[in-house]
Structure 1
Amino acid sequence: MDFVKIILFISLIYGLYAKQKLPAGACVSKIVNGKLVQVGDCEKNDGSDIVRLIKKSRDEKIKAETKCDVTYKKKCYRAVVYEVQNVTVNDIEAICKSKNGKPANIYDLKHYQLLLPYLRSLMPAGQTWIEICTGMEYKNNHLLLSDVRPITIATEVWYPNYPRSTASLTNVGVRIAEDPESAYQGMFDHPPSLSFQGVICEI
C-alpha cells in the first residue's frame, strides 16, 4: 500500500513539475520521426504549426547549403569535389546551380592563394593532386572571366609552361598538388572535353 502511495506521490510531483515548465497557453510543436508532436495547450488545429516547422526546416537547409567555405571581396566560394574525374565543362553549370551559384572566377594572385589550401583540404584520401574546373576561358591569348571580360593575372598563378596559345584549349582549370610547395600546380587552359574531379562555384 505504501508503495502505491509513493508512486502516486511521484506522479503528482512530476505532473506539477511538467506543468511549471510550460507556461499556461504555451504549445510546443516538434517533428519527431516525421510526425507532428505537440505538448501543452495546442487547441489551434489549422495546420499553421506544420507549415511553420516545414518553413523553418527548409530555411535551415538553405542556410547550410549556401554557407561560404571561402569569402573573397564579399563573394562566397564553395567547391564540389568527387573521388573520380567525371566532371566536364558541360556539367559545371548544373553542379554550381544546385549550390545556388555559378562556375567561379579566380580574380587575382591573392584570391588564388586563398583558394589553394581550401581546395587542398577537399582532396580525396590517397590522391596527390586534383584538377578542378573554373568558369573562366582562355581565348586569343586572353584570360576571360565568366562574363567574357578580359583580365590580367600574375604569372605565378599559372601551371608551368601555361597558358598555351593552342586554339582548342579554351577553358581554364586549376591543378592542386597535395604538397603546398610543389611547383607543379596552378591554372591551365584545356580542351572542353577534359574531365575533372570537380568545380569551384561562386555563390
Structure 2
Amino acid sequence: MITREAYQKSDESEIARLIKKSLDEKKKAENKCDVTYKTKCFRIVVYGTHNVTFNDAEPICKSMNNRKLANIYELAHYQSLLPYLRSLIPAGIEWIEIWTGMEYKNNQLLLLSGEPITIATEVWYPSYPTSDESRTNVVVQIHKDQEFVRQGMINAKPSWSKYGVICEI
C-alpha cells in the first residue's frame, strides 16, 4: 500500500523531472544552428521590416545564448548561407539585407576581431565595396531569385536599418 507521503513525493519528483526536461529542451533549442560551417554555428534573425541598426545587432546576438555577430570567412561559407537566408525572406518582399560583424575600413575587409581578411570578389554586390569612409559595416543583401545579379555583400553606414543579423558561436 502506498502512503500519502510516498505518493506526494513521487508526484513532486515527476514535476521536477518534467521541469528539468523542459529546461533541457529549451537549452537545446537555444544552441541549435541554422547553418554550420567548418564546426562554427550560425543563427540568423530576420524581421518582417527594416528595423535593425548595427547598434541593435549586437544585443540581438548576445540575447541568444551569448552569441556574437558573425564573420563570413570565405566564398564557400558565403555560399553555404545563401539557401537558408533565402528561406527567411518574408512573404511579399523580394530581398533582405542583414548585418554581419565584419567591417570595411581603409579599403580593407576586417573580421569582428579586427583581423584583415581577403574574400573572393564574387561575394561582393556589383560595384562594391564602396570607398565611402562612413560605410564601415558589412551587410549581406540577398535576393529571393538566386540568379538575380544585384546581390552580395555591401559596406553600409551603421545607422541604416536592415532586416536582421547573422550571429555566430
TM above 0.5, one fold?
Answer: yes
Name the structure 1 match of 2:96: 130
Instruction: Please give the secondary structure, in 2, of the residue aligned with 1:181.
Output: coil
Name the structure 2 match of 1:103: 69
* Inter-partner Cα distance in structure 2 for 1:46 and 1:81: 42
Match of 1:57 among 14, 22, 26: 22
Instruction: Please give the secondary structure, in 1, of the residue aligned with 2:81.
Output: helix
Match of 2:46 among 54, 78, 81: 81
Q: List runs of 5+ in structure 1 lacking aligned partners.
A: 1-23, 26-40
* Inter-partner Cα distance in structure 2 for 1:42 and 1:69: 43
* Inter-partner Cα distance in structure 1 for 2:14 and 2:55: 43
The within-5 A match list for 1:26-45 is 42=7, 44=9
* TM value normalised by structure 1: 0.77
Q: List runs of 5+ in structure 2 lacking aligned partners.
A: none
Name the structure 1 match of 2:37: 72
Instruction: Please give the secondary structure, in 1, of the residue aligned with 2:23.
Output: helix
Deviation at 1:111, TM superposition (A): 0.4
* TM value normalised by structure 2: 0.91
- Per-residue Cα deviation, 1:37-72 (whole angstroms, up to 9, x for no partner): xxxx73526944433322221110110122111100
Provide the alpha-carbon RMSD of the alignment. Answer: 1.8
The within-5 A match list for 1:140-159 is 140-159=106-125
Identity %: 66
Instruction: Please give the secondary structure, in 1, of the residue aligned with 2:41.
Output: strand
Name the structure 2 match of 1:115: 81
- Per-residue Cα deviation, 1:68-107 (whole angstroms, up to 9, x for no partner): 1110010111110001000001111111112221111100
Q: Report how many aligned residue pairs link the two structures.
A: 165
Hey, which bits of structure 1, 4+ residues long, moved more than 2 A?
Answer: 41-53
Match of 1:163 among 129, 132, 142: 129
